[in-house]
Amino acid sequence: MRISLFILIVFFLTCCSNLFAQPYYKLLKNGRNWIYTQMAPGEEPPVHIVLAFALSMQGDTIIQGNSYKKIYQRPLKLNVNSTAIQNPKEILNTYIYALMREDTFARKVYMLPFKDTVSMCQPTEHLLYDFS
C-alpha cells in the first residue's frame, strides 16, 4: 500500500509541478536573425528563389507598459540564377517590420505588426508562439 501511495504522489508531483518541466530559453534576444526565402510555385528542382529577406531583433521600446523588441526586415540580394542568396548576404535596405514581446512566465510570444507593413493582416497584438 505504501509503495502504490508513494508512486501516486510522485506521479502527481511530476504532472502538476514546473520543477520537472523543460527549461525555457528566451526567444527574443538582440542580434538574432531569421532568414526567409520564397520559392517560385510549381517548378521542378532546382527551385528558384523569388524573394529573400532576414528578420532581426535590434533594440527595445515600451508601449502601454509592455516592453517590445523591434524586428527589422532586411531584403537580401539574390544570385543571378536565383537559386541561392548572394553570399556574403548583401542587404538592400532596412525597415521596421513588427514589435514582439515575450512573456517568459507564461512561455508565450506576442507580435504587434508595425503600421504600413505587409504584416498588417492583424493590426492588433496577437499570440505568435505558445510554448506552454
DSSP designation for 102: E
What's the chain's length in residues? 132
DSSP designation for 96: E
Task: Give φ, ψ of 125 to 5 degrees.
Answer: -60, 135
Q: Label residue 97 left, alpha or beta by phi (over 0 means left) and psi (-120 to 50 means alpha).
A: alpha
pLDDT, tens digit (0-9, with 9 covering 90-100), for 1-37 = 677 766 767 666 666 555 556 777 787 887 777 777 7
- Grid cell locating 84: 541561392
DSSP state letters, 1-66: -HHHHHHHHHHHHHHH-GGGSPPPPPS--TT-EEEEEEEPTTPPSSPPEEEEEEEEEEEEEEETTE
pLDDT, tens digit (0-9, with 9 covering 90-100), for 97-106 = 888 899 988 8
Is the pTM higher than 0.75?
A: no
